Structure 1
Amino acid sequence: MGALMVAAGLTVSTAALAASAEPAAPAPAPGSDRITNPVAEFAGIDKITGRIITFDVYIDETVQFGALQVTPRVCYSRPQNEEPKTDSFVEVDEITLDRKIRRIFTGWMFAESPGLNAVEHAVYDVWLKACKQKSDVPAPDAAKTDGAKPDTAQPNATAAPAAAEPEATEPPTTSTN
């Protein structure tokens, strides 16, 4: 019986490999079984209130979470019978106190490693949870037929309580007459 030495120092019997009922399928080419999904699911935390919410965003649509605007450009996953690998190319903008939009993140997020490329903001953190084929949130095309303007959607009411959304208001002025 032959034996293979694996890098970690484990020994695997080649007879056990040869005796398997089905021959091993060849490894798929990188990206060959990649699934393109129309919806990215994110999680976000408001560090002030401690609330963590999840929200769905359609590809190329923008959802505002607090002072952040999250826009996924692509969202890929793999079939359920393969090792999980879910990634999304995301752009995140911050609406500053002087109402300017500032890009704070552009890059890939990986659901299996949420700490690797999550957006870490002073008040909000956002990370990718999953890529999905459908969502409970109406598709942008459905919103257009209703006459709604889908430019900047808010996360749905069940996922994002209004308390997590800061309001951009001017401070009250007092008269000293």
Structure 2
Amino acid sequence: MKRLFVMSMCVLALPAAAQQAQSGSGAVIRALDRTNASVTDLEIGNGASARYGYLTLQLDECRYPVGDPSGDAYAYLTVREDESAEPVFEGWMVASSPALNAVDHPRYDFWVLRCKT
């Protein structure tokens, strides 16, 4: 239900001409470790995963507006801790509004920068 709400808000926020989306080959995700204030950019392909600290980020898909590859990207991410079966985060994340559907983790934060084309 939450995913449906977030996606409907994303679609309503986009201009009518930009509602058609194209899939990128992956995404660039910025990762922040709050403990030591280090920032890392992770390039993840669609269907692939990457490790950051004790978390695994899996990217299912990254999309961007048709005709505007530098436009507002949104990606479906799943974030899991090593010792937990339940994901820390699962859902769509919008590049221009990372707080709309943010990762709730005490040490790490992630947000989408752009899709890879």
User: TM-score category by the smaller chain?
Assistant: 0.7 to 0.9
Q: Which has the larger radius of gyration?
A: 1
| Greater relative CO (CA pairs within 8 A, separation 6+) | 2
Residues 1:131 and 2:115 are matched in the alignment: yes
Give how far 1:123 is off.
Answer: 1.0
Q: Give the whole-Å Cα distance in 1 for the aligned partners of 2:113 and 2:55.
A: 17
Count of residue pairs brought into register by the alignment: 101
Residue 9 of structure 2 corresponds to: none
RMSD: 2.0
Is 1:90 the counterpart of 2:77? The answer is yes
Give the structure 2 partner of residue 73 of structure 1: 60
- Structure 1 runs not aligned, ≥5 long: 1-26, 134-177
Q: Residue 118 of structure 1: CA displacement?
A: 2.5
Runs of 4+ in 1 over 6 A off after TM superposition: none
Q: What SS does structure 2 have at the residue aligned with 1:112?
A: coil
Q: Percent identity?
A: 26
Q: Does residue 55 of the first structure (1) align with residue 42 of the second (2)?
A: yes
**CA distance 1:80–1:28, change in 2 (3 Å):** closer
TM-score, normalised relative to structure 2: 0.76
Q: Provide the C-alpha distance between the structure 2 equivalents of 1:88 and 1:30, rounded to a whole number of angstroms.
A: 15
Question: Between Structure 1 and Structure 2, which shows a larger proportion of strand residues?
Answer: 2
Length-normalised TM-score, structure 1: 0.52
